[in-house]
């Protein structure tokens, strides 16, 4: 079992009225994806409108499985801020629920060992203000790729 991610996120801006349900759920380490109850569309990041049916009244933020697959990734060797250790992997993860999220990939000693299509599961880094930031690590439930 992989421990908590070993990195310290930069400052995460406060939630606004649209993103508050998403961030509140992170306090309990629940990953949510915005869903429109009028048409069933799921979208991320959360918005004030459904991009499929234009509804502004039918948007909910239900919990999702927290699993997905690596859509693509890059290993960064030159940090954009002073207190970030390199190298680390940043990825697009396509959630099982549908939408793509940007994230870090944790849980492998060599970040270049990741492959597009790898199954992943969410893991959380607690923020000083009580919210938490999701990242992803190899999915132990899927035995096809474990390093």
Partner 1 sequence: MSPGVAIVGAAECDLGVTGLSILGLQTQAVTRALADAGLTLADVDGIATTTVSRFSATQLADYFGIEPRWTDSTFAGGSAFEMFVARAAQAIEAGQCEVVVISFASNQRSARSRKLGGVHEPWIPEAQFEEPYDMLYPLSYYAMAARSYLHRYGGTREQLAEVAVAAREWALLNPKAFRYGKGPLSVEDVVGSTMISSPLTAADCCLVTDGGGAVVLTSLERARDLRQKPVQVLGYGERTTNTSFTAVDDLTRPGAVGSGADAFARAGITPADVDVLEVYDSFTITAALSVEALGFCGEGEVLDFIADGRIRPGGALPLNTSGGGLSYCHPGQFGVLLLVEAVRQLRGECGDRQVPDAQVAVAHGTGGILSTHATVVLGVDR
Spatial separation of the C-alpha atoms in residues 20 and 26, rounded to whole Å: 10
Asked if residue 45 has a cis previous peptide bond (ω within 30° of 0), the answer is yes
Spatial separation of the C-alpha atoms in residues 90 and 82, rounded to whole Å: 17
| Other beta carbons less than 10 A from residue 30's beta carbon | 18
Q: How many residues does the chain have?
A: 147
Instruction: Residue 21: name its binding partner from Zn ion, partner 1, none (Cβ under 5 to 8 Å by kind).
Output: none
Token readout for 123 is 């893991």
- Interacting residues with Zn ion between 19 and 48 (CB under 5 A): 36, 38-39, 41
Minimum CB–partner distance for residue 6 and partner 1 (Å):
14
- The residue (of 12 and 38) whose beta carbon lies closer to partner 1 is 12
For Zn ion, which residue of 8, 14, 45, 52 counts as binding (CB under 5 A)? 52
Instruction: Residue 77: name its binding partner from partner 1, Zn ion, none (Cβ under 5 to 8 Å by kind).
Output: partner 1
Spatial separation of the C-alpha atoms in residues 46 and 35, rounded to whole Å: 9
Minimum CB–partner distance for residue 53 and Zn ion (Å):
3
Binding site for Zn ion (CB under 5 A): 36, 38-39, 41, 50, 52-53, 55
């Amino acid at each position: 079992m992989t421990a908590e991610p070993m990195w310290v996120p930069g400052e995460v801006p406060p939630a606004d009225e649209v993103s508050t349900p998403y961030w509140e759920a992170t306090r309990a380490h629940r990953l949510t994806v915005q869903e429109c109850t009028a048409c069933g569309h799921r979208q991320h990041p959360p918005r004030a409108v459904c991009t499929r049916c234009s509804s502004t009244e039918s948007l909910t933020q239900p919990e999702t499985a927290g699993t997905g697959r690596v859509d693509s990734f890059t290993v960064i060797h030159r940090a954009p801020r002073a207190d970030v250790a390199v190298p680390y992997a940043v990825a697009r993860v396509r959630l099982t629920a549908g939408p793509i999220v940007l994230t870090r990939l944790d849980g492998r000693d060599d970040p270049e060992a990741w492959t597009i299509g790898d199954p992943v599961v969410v893991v959380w880094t607690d923020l000083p203000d009580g919210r938490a930031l999701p990242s992803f690590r190899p999915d132990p439930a899927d035995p096809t790729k474990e390093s």
